[in-house]
Amino acid sequence: MARTGRPPARPLNAPAIVLVRPQLPENIGAAARAMLNCGLTELRLVQPREAWPNERAREVSSGAFEVIDNARVYPSARAATADLTRVYATTARHRQMIKPVETPRAAVASIRADIAAGGRVGILFGPERTGLENDELTLADRLLSVPLNPGFASLNLAQAVLVLGYEWFQGADETPPRRLVLNGTRPAERAELMNFFDHLEAQLVECGFLRIADKRPSMVRNIRNIFLRADLTRQEIRTLHGIVKDLSTLRVKGSKRRPKTEK
Amino acid sequence: MARTGRPPARPLNAPAIVLVRPQLPENIGAAARAMLNCGLTELRLVQPREAWPNERAREVSSGAFEVIDNARVYPSARAATADLTRVYATTARHRQMIKPVETPRAAVASIRADIAAGGRVGILFGPERTGLENDELTLADRLLSVPLNPGFASLNLAQAVLVLGYEWFQGADETPPRRLVLNGTRPAERAELMNFFDHLEAQLVECGFLRIADKRPSMVRNIRNIFLRADLTRQEIRTLHGIVKDLSTLRVKGSKRRPKTEK
């Protein structure tokens, strides 16, 4: 049976996603999946076109059942926002409304501040194709508009939910922008790296690659830079020692077949 | 007829999106739509499961034909990346690869720097469900991983393309984080606002609302703050003057029915 009407006015620690008159159950399912991807779980449906609960929406959610199965159905956008203290409405066009328009990134920062102050926040998304009606936009404090290619700005419903959810999740995520996953090994210490350079350069002198003395310092710097840019691990240093050693052996064995001559 | 093989090594002013062994034409179409939403147009397909060109993909693209119709098909990820100077691979898990892992936001900043330096960049996306194979990941300089709910991190293929494209577009977009769209009117000047306050407060004294003299200053400040927070336009100031005037008239007319008495 569908859960309907006003939910308990409990604290919401993330914004509620309110889909107004969604047409396709597939889009509700895809929106639920995108929500859970981003840690959002409170889904509200205003007059969905197809019957609710809906098995097709459930399938397309790819397992986001904690969102789908707890969704509540409301008779109007006004009812669906009754317990909220801050309402955003998503729109691609600004119509005749004089309201603040925020980017998703700015909106999630404001929403976090509202929630930290005890507020309950919801974000309205309109039906596929038509979007929200003006009376529904009037329920909102602020409009939310995604900056996109102005020549092709129409996002699918679930894609619009994802953009908002993605920004929501990033706003609190602490993943370093760039990291190296080391799989149990550790970065090489400078001494290990220098030992490798000594080994490599000794062999390169031996085999004649560094035979021209006045070019040697700059060639050595260039070669070291190749390996320095690679952010080597201890294990990789061992591998490189082995490569140099075995290539040297090959040279000794094969020296009669491929003599190194000075040109 | 499908466009196949190596494209002209022309400059790419945005990253190419490389879908490796995509299964569903719907996902290719949805990815193309998401690309064009974000100003990305170079789509490369490695061994798509269904025949290409594909009418279903074209339909689902919702008109992103400049992406779909110019997509090229390649026999391998190696061939599809042959002309590139920088390759990213998207992955949800880090496998046994010791490679830098970047967030989408960090990656688009790096990609812009690469492109500014004349580089040609591509981003590999693996097949639905299985993702890229290890040998395909090995084609990449860097991995790209979207920070998401660790309990439910699997993005649909087109959703993954959208996240990357969205960050790409935001990286160069100059939309102010928050703006007020004024529809041809202009913000009220301070003098217009003060005239309105004078009008309102005179009427509030007249009708008795501000009758308690020692509370008046703080009440006036609170009332002014309500209207100051609304960022009023010139036209709205006129509307408010009209509201105060007509409400005052109502009070005069109705004074016998609803007398204002001091409690």
pLDDT digits (tens, 9 = 90+) for A230-258: 999 999 999 999 999 999 887 666 555 44
CB contact under 8 A, B178 and A102: yes
ipTM over 0.85: yes
Please say whether the beta carbons of A58 and A100 come within 8 A: no
State the pLDDT at residue B263: 42
Q: Which two tokens stand for residue A223?
A: 């070669």
Residue of chain B nearest A158, judged by CA positions: B159
B52-71 residues touching A, CB cutoff 8 A? 62-64
- Is the CB of A101 inside 8 Å of chain B's CB atoms? yes
| Alpha-carbon distance A215 to nearest alpha carbon in chain B (angstroms) | 28
- Is the CB of B212 inside 8 Å of chain A's CB atoms? no
CB contact under 8 A, A179 and B106: no
CB contact under 8 A, B156 and A33: yes
CB contact under 8 A, B178 and A153: no
Q: Digits of tens for pLDDT over chain B (263 positions)? A: 678 876 656 778 999 999 999 999 999 999 999 999 999 999 999 999 999 999 999 999 999 999 999 999 999 999 999 999 999 999 987 667 788 999 999 999 999 999 999 999 999 999 998 999 999 999 999 999 999 999 999 999 999 999 999 999 999 999 999 988 787 889 999 999 999 999 999 999 999 999 898 999 999 999 999 999 999 999 999 999 999 999 988 766 655 544 454 44
CB contact under 8 A, B101 and A179: yes
Please say whether the beta carbons of B236 and B183 come within 8 A: no
| Alpha-carbon distance A217 to nearest alpha carbon in chain B (angstroms) | 28
Interface size between A and B, measured as CB pairs under 8 A? 132
CB contact under 8 A, A101 and B166: no
Q: How far is CA A248 from the centre of its chain?
A: 46
What burial class does residue A197 get, using C-beta atoms within 10 Å of its C-beta: 0-12 exposed, 13-18 middle, 19+ buried?
middle
Q: How far is CA B70 from the centre of its chain?
A: 25
Which of A105-125 are b and which e, b meaning 16 or more Cβ less than 10 Å from the residue's Cβ? bbbbbbbbebbeeebbbbbbb
A145-164 residues touching B, CB cutoff 8 A? 146-149, 152-156, 158-159, 162-163
Identify all chain B residues contacting A140, using CB atoms and an 8 Å cutoff.
none
**Neighbour tally for A241: CB within 10 Å:** 15
Backbone phi and psi for residue B110, each to the nearest 5 degrees, phi listed first: -65, -40
Longest dimension (CA), chain A: 89
Residue of chain B nearest A67, judged by CA positions: B152
Question: Which helix or strand (DSSP H or E) is residue A19 part of?
Answer: strand A16-20
Partner-chain residue, chosen from B105, B153, B180, that has the shortest CB–CB distance to A37 = B153
- Is 90 exceeded by the pLDDT of residue A219? yes
The pLDDT-based confidence of A8 (bands split at 50, 70, 90) is low
Residue type, B125: F
Give the strand pairing for B178-180 and A100-102.
antiparallel
Q: Which two tokens stand for residue B199?
A: 């009008």
| Alpha-carbon distance A87 to nearest alpha carbon in chain B (angstroms) | 15
- Is the CB of A106 inside 8 Å of chain B's CB atoms? yes
Q: Which two tokens stand for residue A252?
A: 């000794």
Q: Is A55 left (phi over 0), alpha (psi -120 to 50) or beta?
A: alpha
Question: Which helix or strand (DSSP H or E) is residue B193 part of?
Answer: helix B190-207
State the pLDDT at residue B129: 86
Identify all chain B residues contacting A233, using CB atoms and an 8 Å cutoff.
98
Rounded to whole angstroms, the Cα distance separating B106 from B37 reads: 20
Identify all chain B residues contacting A231, using CB atoms and an 8 Å cutoff.
100
Please say whether the beta carbons of A73 and A48 come within 8 A: yes
State the pLDDT at residue A169: 97
User: How is residue A146 annotated by DSSP?
Assistant: -
Rounded to whole angstroms, the Cα distance separating A52 from B211 reads: 56
Identify all chain B residues contacting A236, using CB atoms and an 8 Å cutoff.
98
Q: Is A133 left (phi over 0), alpha (psi -120 to 50) or beta?
A: beta
Identify all chain A residues contacting B102, using CB atoms and an 8 Å cutoff.
177-178
Q: Which residues contact B51 (CB under 8 A, 6 or more apart)?
A: none
B118-147 residues touching A, CB cutoff 8 A? 145-147
- Is the CB of A252 inside 8 Å of chain B's CB atoms? no
Q: Which ranges of chain A does DSSP label H, i.e. alpha helix?
A: 25-37, 55-60, 65-68, 77-80, 104-116, 134-137, 157-172, 190-207, 216-228, 234-253
All structural domains of chain A, each given as residue ranges with its CATH number in brackets, are 16-170 (3.40.1280.10), 190-257 (1.10.8)
CB contact under 8 A, B101 and A155: no
- Is 90 exceeded by the pLDDT of residue A81? yes
- Is 70 exceeded by the pLDDT of residue A44? yes
Identify all chain A residues contacting B169, using CB atoms and an 8 Å cutoff.
147-149
Q: Which residues contact A247 (CB under 8 A, 6 or more apart)?
A: A203
Residue of chain B nearest A162, judged by CA positions: B159
Q: Which two tokens stand for residue A78?
A: 């006004």
**Neighbour tally for B65: CB within 10 Å:** 12
> CA distances (Å), B202 to each of A84, A158, A159, A208, in order?
35, 52, 52, 98
State the pLDDT at residue A188: 94
- Is the CB of A236 inside 8 Å of chain B's CB atoms? yes
Please say whether the beta carbons of A37 and A17 come within 8 A: no
The pLDDT-based confidence of A262 (bands split at 50, 70, 90) is very low
Three-state DSSP state, B16: strand
Three-state DSSP state, A53: coil
Identify all chain A residues contacting B185, using CB atoms and an 8 Å cutoff.
98
Rounded to whole angstroms, the Cα distance separating B169 from B41 reads: 12
Rounded to whole angstroms, the Cα distance separating B166 from B162 reads: 6
Please say whether the beta carbons of B1 and B54 come within 8 A: no
Longest dimension (CA), chain B: 89
Rounded to whole angstroms, the Cα distance separating A71 from A85 reads: 20
Question: Which helix or strand (DSSP H or E) is residue B5 part of?
Answer: none
In which order are the strands placed within the sheet that holds B3-4?
A178-180, B100-102, B142-144, B86-90, B121-125, B16-20, B43-46, B72-74, B3-4
